[in-house]
């Protein structure tokens, strides 16, 4: 037989596009349309429905950027359509390739009942099946004219990302507003042909199955009368019955489809628009659940449920009913799908606390899975947090985006820094927006790396990022793929059902130890510095607010601000979403975040001040009490307590021969040359130089920064090929300072200016560096360099509840790919017996490189802190303006010193006048055991919650002393529930004794008398 595959396939494409698809709605009549444009921000639904609209017609432009237009569409069903299925086709000017990324709408009935959402892949609204002739139709559409930010030519700078700069030019042309007959037989024929045509493309050219399908498709096309598609569609479908009913091979890969609509809580739209995106999508999904009995939909992010509960209660009622039915599944158990690299220890824990508690309170559901399909890599401390929250599984997809190395597993055990293992799955479909295309299903089966030992994978199915969700077409395709020869099998299942099957079939899954590093989007550790500073500051203020409010509640009866802290935590957690904290959202999001962080700081400072004043007592005594919110004693002030501080000694400053200054305090001698650079930092006790020979520390370096794609997200390795050292100083002057020696350095470069103050304080074995940058560069990357005379094959970066080691060398492509990495408060490098730490108050990105010197064959290991970038997409003004950073170089530091100094720079002491010292509620007798939280129990019982962890990476015995009346102790999970599978600690003689594994996290609940 002659090979006519291309002839039949080309015929199929044209007949589908030009004859069969148009025949799905064979008859139509126009609807009458009117519009009211809401002034300013969106209005309540009742106001939009009641507003008097003005004239508009199909073909007219509408919608200023970020505006809201309320369309009223009315019409009458023709009498001759009686008994038929009729739909309204409502095209706001959609581009079908941009679901979630352009205009959208939510359809209401006249009484305010939500019907469904409109987006480019979902433009229909069912009027009746069947309808009555003469039936009146009246619908209202709340339409959002969200501008297109990420266009066909991506990453072009645009002012559309902020309402303040977007202008008022209409964005869309009204395309279609019709009533139409829906022919279900033709619609099914379209899906039959699509599924078979897509499957054919994935089968080998010489396979019997491919040719059998080809012949059946040819017969079906022959059966279609192109002048009477609707009359002949049933005959065409009959030609396909045999090939559609041939079952899959018993060994076929099995895909669990989970209805999904990954909705970014903010990205190329502001937070307020996400509230409406969630309402549109959930309206669609609850309607689809009613129509499709096999369909299962999962939605993560408790924040998004909370939004519709608050703003769209009529939509939430439908969601809650569908959840109760078991087919609308709250997934993930986190407040938002957060970044996991940058959030601090407690914040990462609270993502699960607040997320899981919301789902428990609202639905009585507890999640076993963490659901993070789009997060940009995963910190090595996360497995323990997932387990401590009562969960045991993790799903993500984003690691498939890695540029250099292909991850070796799709299903595996992920081991964190403390040894905790979490059963983890990466969907081999390689998308969290699966649409049930044949190419996607075939790719999942071919790509699955665990063949022979496992056969299940998951496919998140539905339009996402900007929402939209699963469509009826996807459900119909899945039904045809339930068991179809040549294809993987597809069935709708919840995440829990998938994980239970996958774990059962693969009990000896391979183990991956350490972070799940995404070899992409590395610049998200630096972009939008003010957002990152707001997060870091908020995290530490929340720690202090809980600590001092709990202490004051126990000591003085101070009213513990449960509701305020709950609300503020949720605000901070929301802004850790994986496009807000990483700095990859539009200008509007970050402008709004700056205001929010300022408000949060003001409220938390108010709580802290009130609690400390209650604790300090009578200010008339005039005693200056130092409140120490850090987990280590400082200047004689206990951790978590307050008392007068002791004097730290003195520091001197003298001129340096050749220019500059020498700073000395008996512990360090620091030389700053005439350029304002640190050319020596000598550890007097160890008789050891810190700065590598012939180099200078505290050196600012600037690089060109124009990645190939994803401007705010990416920095590509070639940026390092060109560097400019900022060595010219406008001034280098001594600064008068009490109990400290300080030098001020001013530099100008490009259109920017930087001022640094380098300070050696009395009694401190560290050099503090305060950097103020008035930044007005474009597409540049600013680094702060510390070339160190140290030989280290690996270095430590702080992560959640511990630290993680990375190589300093690039032996393999895996190591070379980590050319920009994340730290929290410190980075630490060490030779046996001597090390160096660099600590910070707000930066995350860094790089570490090593060279061998020609002069003495010694090793120079250079740590560079990432300060600022200037990408132009999606925010063309990223990081422009004044920024302030605080860092410290700590010579002679071991890991314990790095931990201590990291807390010091982030938790400055507070001075309050009072009449007596304040004893801490709890005290750990081991410096390496960190008390990360002291608070009152969330249930309002008055019990004290203490969370602690081992910070050095070693086993330790610790005695936790209580300085209040504690009746008993119980170890709990993060949600403060007693653990059933552990040996419970005991409270004896006012103390709890524990043995902690390396990096082990423990939460204790200390009962207090009921008052």
Q: Residue 532: which H helix or E strand, with range?
A: helix 529-556
Residue 981's Cβ-side half-sphere holds a number of Cα atoms within 13 Å equal to 4
CB atoms within 10 A of CB 842: 21
Give which of 970, 886, 952, 957 is closest to 926, Cα–Cα: 957
The CA-atom distances, in angstroms, between 322 and each of 296, 297, 328 are 10, 10, 5
Residues in the chain: 1011
For the chain, the 3-state helix, strand and coil shares in percent, each to the nearest 5, are 30, 30, 40
Active-site entry in 162, 374, 683, 714 = 374
CB 730 within 8 A of CB 747: yes
Structure-token match 């730490």, residue found:
837
Q: In whole angstroms, what is the distance from residue 655 CA to residue 632 CA?
A: 35
CA–CA distance from 847 to each of 457, 659, 698 (Å)?
A: 36, 31, 15
Q: Where are the alpha helices (DSSP H) in 293-371?
A: 302-311, 313-324, 345-363
Nearest to 516 by CA among 362, 654, 412, 643: 412
How does DSSP assign 945-1005, residue by residue?
Answer: EEEEEE-SSS-EEEEEEESS---EEEEE-TTSPBPSSSPPP-EETTEEEEEE-TT-EEEEE
Closest to 921 in 3D by CA, of 385, 540, 558, 389: 558
* Residue 513: partners with Cβ closer than 8 Å, 6 or more residues away: 415
Cis peptide before 874 (omega within 30 of 0): yes
Q: Rounded CA gap, 519 and 826, in Å? A: 22
**DSSP β-ladder status, 991-996 and 724-726:** unpaired
- Whose CA is closest to 951, among 987, 902, 985, 907? 902
Annotation says 430 is catalytic: no
Q: Which long-range contacts (C-beta less than 8 Å, at least 24 apart) are formed by 438-442?
A: 438/195, 438/197, 438/198, 438/199, 438/200, 438/201, 438/202, 438/487, 439/198, 439/201, 439/202, 441/202, 441/255, 441/481, 441/487, 441/488, 441/490, 442/199, 442/202, 442/487, 442/488
The residues annotated with a catalytic role in the active site are 374
């Amino acid at each position: 037989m002659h090979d006519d595959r291309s002839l039949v396939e080309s015929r199929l494409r044209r007949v589908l596009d030009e004859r069969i698809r148009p025949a799905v709605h064979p008859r139509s009549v126009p609807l009458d349309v009117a519009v009211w444009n809401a002034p300013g921000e969106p209005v309540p639904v009742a106001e939009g429905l009641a507003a008097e609209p003005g004239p508009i017609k199909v073909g007219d432009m509408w919608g200023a950027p970020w505006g809201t237009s309320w369309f009223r569409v009315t019409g009458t069903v023709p009498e001759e359509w009686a008994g038929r299925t009729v739909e309204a086709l409502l095209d706001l000017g959609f581009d079908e390739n941009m679901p979630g990324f352009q205009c959208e709408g939510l359809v209401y009935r006249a009484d305010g009942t939500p019907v469904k959402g409109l987006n480019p892949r979902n433009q229909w609204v069912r009027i009746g099946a069947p309808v009555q002739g003469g039936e009146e139709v009246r619908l209202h559409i709340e339409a959002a004219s969200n501008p297109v930010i990420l266009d066909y030519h991506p990453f072009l700078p645009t002012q559309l990302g902020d309402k303040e700069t977007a202008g008022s030019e209409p964005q869309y042309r009204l395309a279609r507003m019709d009533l139409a007959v829906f022919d279900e037989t033709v619609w099914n024929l379209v899906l039959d042909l699509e599924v078979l045509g897509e499957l054919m493309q994935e089968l080998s050219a010489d396979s019997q199955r491919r040719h059998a399908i080809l012949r059946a498709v040819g017969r079906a096309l022959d059966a279609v009368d192109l002048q009477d598609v609707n009359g002949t569609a049933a005959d065409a479908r009959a030609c396909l019955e045999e090939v559609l009913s041939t079952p899959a091979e018993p060994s076929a890969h099995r895909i669990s489809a989970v209805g999904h609509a990954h909705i970014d809580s903010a990205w190329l739209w502001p937070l307020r628009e996400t509230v409406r995106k969630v309402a549109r999508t959930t309206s669609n999904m609850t309607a689809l659940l009613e129509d499709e009995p096999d369909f299962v939909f999962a939605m993560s992010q408790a924040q998004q449920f909370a939004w519709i509960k608050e703003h769209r209660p009529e939509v939430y009622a439908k969601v809650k009913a569908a959840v109760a039915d078991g087919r609308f599944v709250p997934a993930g158990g986190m407040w938002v799908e957060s970044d996991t690299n940058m959030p601090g220890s407690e914040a990462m824990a609270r993502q699960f606390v607040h997320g899981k508690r919301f789902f428990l309170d609202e639905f009585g559901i507890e999640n076993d899975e963490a659901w993070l399909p789009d997060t940009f890599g995963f910190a090595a401390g996360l497995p323990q947090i997932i387990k401590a929250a009562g969960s045991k599984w993790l799903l993500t997809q984003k690691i498939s985006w890695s540029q250099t190395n292909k991850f070796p597993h799709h299903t595996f055990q992920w081991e964190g820094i403390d040894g905790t293992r979490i059963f983890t799955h990466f969907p081999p479909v390689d998308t969290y927006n699966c649409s049930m295309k044949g190419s996607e299903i075939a790719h999942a089966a071919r790509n699955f790396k665990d063949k022979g030992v496992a056969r299940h994978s998951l496919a998140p199915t539905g339009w996402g990022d900007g929402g939209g969700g699963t469509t009826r077409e996807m459900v119909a395709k899945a039904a045809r793929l339930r068991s179809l020869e040549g294809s993987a099998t597809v069935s709708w299942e919840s995440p829990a059902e998938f994980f239970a099957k996958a774990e059962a079939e693969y009990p000896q899954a391979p183990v991956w130890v350490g972070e799940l590093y995404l070899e992409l989007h590395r610049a998200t550790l630096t972009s939008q510095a003010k957002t990152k500073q707001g997060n870091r500051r908020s995290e530490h203020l929340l720690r202090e607010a809980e600590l001092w409010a709990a202490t004051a509640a126990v000591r003085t009866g101070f009213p513990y601000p449960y509701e305020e802290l709950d609300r503020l935590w949720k605000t901070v957690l929301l802004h850790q979403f994986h496009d807000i904290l990483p700095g990859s959202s539009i200008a509007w999001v970050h402008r709004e975040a700056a205001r929010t962080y300022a408000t949060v700081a003001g409220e938390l400072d108010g709580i802290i001040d009130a609690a400390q004043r209650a604790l300090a007592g009578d200010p008339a005594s005039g005693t200056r009490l130092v409140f120490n919110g850090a987990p280590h004693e400082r200047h004689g002030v206990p951790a978590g307590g307050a008392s007068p501080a002791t004097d730290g000694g003195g520091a001197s400053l003298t001129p340096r021969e050749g220019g500059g200054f020498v700073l000395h305090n008996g512990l360090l001698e620091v030389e700053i040359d005439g350029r304002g650079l640190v050319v020596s930092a000598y550890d007097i006790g160890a008789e050891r130089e810190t700065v590598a020979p012939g180099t200078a520390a505290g050196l600012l370096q600037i690089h060109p920064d124009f990645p190939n794609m994803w401007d705010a997200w990416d920095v590509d390795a070639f940026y390092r090929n060109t560097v400019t050292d900022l060595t010219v100083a406008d001034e280098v002057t001594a600064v008068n300072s009490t109990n400290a020696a300080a030098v001020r350095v001013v530099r100008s470069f490009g259109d920017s200016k930087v001022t640094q103050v380098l300070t050696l304080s009395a009694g401190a074995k560290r050099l503090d560096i305060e950097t103020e940058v008035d930044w007005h560069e474009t597409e540049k990357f600013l680094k702060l360099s510390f070339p160190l005379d140290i030989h280290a094959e690996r270095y430590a970066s702080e992560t959640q509840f511990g630290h993680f080691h990375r190589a300093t060398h690039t032996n393999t492509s895996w190591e070379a790919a980590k050319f920009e990495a994340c730290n929290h408060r410190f980075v630490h490098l060490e030779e046996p017996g001597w090390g160096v730490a660099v600590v910070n108050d707000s930066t995350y990105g860094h790089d570490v490189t090593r060279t061998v010197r020609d002069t003495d064959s010694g090793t120079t290991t250079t740590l560079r802190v990432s300060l600022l970038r200037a990408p132009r997409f999606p925010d063309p003004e990223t990081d422009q303006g004044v920024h302030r950073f605080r860092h410290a170089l700590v010579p002679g530091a071991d890991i314990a010193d790095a931990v201590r100094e990291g807390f010091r720079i982030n938790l400055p002491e507070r001075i309050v006048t009072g009449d007596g010292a304040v004893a801490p509620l709890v005290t750990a007798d081991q410096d390496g055991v960190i008390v990360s939280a002291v608070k009152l129990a969330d249930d309002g019982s008055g019990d004290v919650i203490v969370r602690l962890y081992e910070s050095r990476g070693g086993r330790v015995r610790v005695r936790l002393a209580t300085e209040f009346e504690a009746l008993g102790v119980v170890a709990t999970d993060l949600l403060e529930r007693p653990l059933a599978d552990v040996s419970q600690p005991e409270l004896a003689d006012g103390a709890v004794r524990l043995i902690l594994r390396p990096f082990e996290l423990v939460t204790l609940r200390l009962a207090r008398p009921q008052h």
